[in-house]
Structures are given as structure tokens and as C-alpha cells.
Amino acid sequence: MRKLVVLIVLGTALVGCGQRSEPVPELVQAIPEPSAGALAQLATYPRFGDSDPFDWERRKPTSYPIHGIDVSRWQGDINWRQARNAGVSFAYIKATEGGDIADPKFQDYWAGSRRAGVARGAYHYFYFCRPAAQQARWFIKHVPRESDALPHVLDMEWTPHSPTCTIRPDGAHVRREAKRFLDMLEAHYGRRPVIYTTVDFYQDTGIGRLQRTEFWLRSVAGHPAQVYPRAGWSFWQYSGTGKVPGISGDVDLNLFRGSPESWLRWAGTVEQ
């Protein structure tokens, strides 16, 4: 008989280094422990290259077992099987931006990563000159509802180099719009999206105050415990200059905060 475990909301329950607020357990569901076969299929503790490596002072990214990438059309053709064999456990793929841009490589990456057995989700790049509801509908139009997909991602960061929209709304407005987007995607896909963000955006907007929200934090020159004191996080983007077999050129490198077992539960790939 499989042992049952209680899944706790990851953003507040996973243990990492550095200070953070006390976790508030939220019962989600009882699910089986990952099987030995599922764990054996994971490639853990990969050692990717980097064209501009950083000398980490605190806990290093290589000390975490589960790593992945995020990609958009700029990565060109990807050999997904080669990337998976090198240790890519997950990929977040750009699907949409604003309310009228769809990444031309999304469908190719979406299908290719699935064939190679790479867990994948999609992300939306937020545009502050369109309503969140319009952007959510645009994302839903382009990203299929599939049971094996990871929770999707809302990418929110300032856009000072945008040719059409450089406004910086106040934090209250940003949080309202983010919540609207997350609520609409959760209602459609059944799982609440993760928010990806950067240091300045996190500090300027108070986006970390959002309830029931997991965060994916960019921090390429220090551990998140240093750069985002007391912040909870589930994913860490630790490099924008990674080198991964199967991808010609630099790619963003990311890691999951938890253990291989918690990754399989979080990703929804526990064998039944």
C-alpha cells in the first residue's frame, strides 16, 4: 500500500537557507509518495556550463537537485532529448506577450519538450498598457489545457526598453492586475500560476504580498536569501548565460527549491 502524504503549499513550506516568514500550512490533497521508478528517471544535480559564471558566496545552485530552463524563440532550434539527458528536468516556454503577441516557437517547443519527456509549462510576459483580463484571454487562446502541464507562469517586470509601453504603475495597481490574471488562469487550468519577477520589481511593487502565490525569483549575483530577504520562493533563476547541451547559445538556468520527491509531487507526475 502506498504511503500517503499531505501536500503543503510550496511557496511557504519548503525549507531553504535564509530568513523567511513562518509557513502557513494549507491542505491541498492527499497524494501517493513518488515511486522508486519515477525518482530513478530524474537527472539530478546537473552541472551546466556558463559563459559568465558567478562565484557564489552562500549556498550554490549546484547544491539543489532539480534544474531547468526557460526559453523563447531566441533559443532557435532545440534538441530536447539532448537537453533532457544533460539534466534539464523542466522547461518554461514563452507563449504570449501582452494581448497581441504569440511566440512563434511556442508550438514547436511545446510538442518537442513533451516528446522528450521534459516537464513543461508556459509563461506570459505582462504588458502594462493592456488590461490583465485581456492578456489572460490571449494566453488561454494559445496555451492548451493539458493535465500533464506544469502550473503556468506570469512574468512581471519593468519594461524600460519597450518601444510602446514604459509606464510603471503603482504597487496596488500591479497587485490587482496580477491577481486578476492569476485568478482567470487558475479558473481555466485548475492550478494557480507562479509569478516570475526581478529584484527591482519585487521591491517597487510589493508583489510578494499576494496571497496563495508562489514565486520564481531572478537572482544572478547572490542567493535569494540575500537578495530577497524573508521572501518565499519556489524557483530561482540563477543565470541568464547558461550553456546546455542541445541549445546553441546562452539560455536561462533555473532550479526548483525542493527535493526530487517534492518536485514530482509539485509537478503532478507522481505515478498512480
Active-site residues: which are they? 70, 157
27-33: Cβ within 8 A, 24+ apart? 30/4, 30/5, 30/6, 31/4, 31/5, 31/7, 31/265, 31/270, 32/2, 32/3, 32/4, 32/5, 32/270, 32/271, 32/272, 33/2, 33/3, 33/4, 33/5, 33/261, 33/270
Q: What's the rounded Cα separation, in Å, for the pair 147 and 123?
A: 16
* Long-range CB contacts for residues 168-174, cutoff 8 Å, separation at least 24: 168/128, 168/204, 169/128, 170/205, 171/204, 171/205, 171/206, 171/207, 174/205, 174/207
Locate cell 530577504: which residue?
229
182's grid cell: 492569476
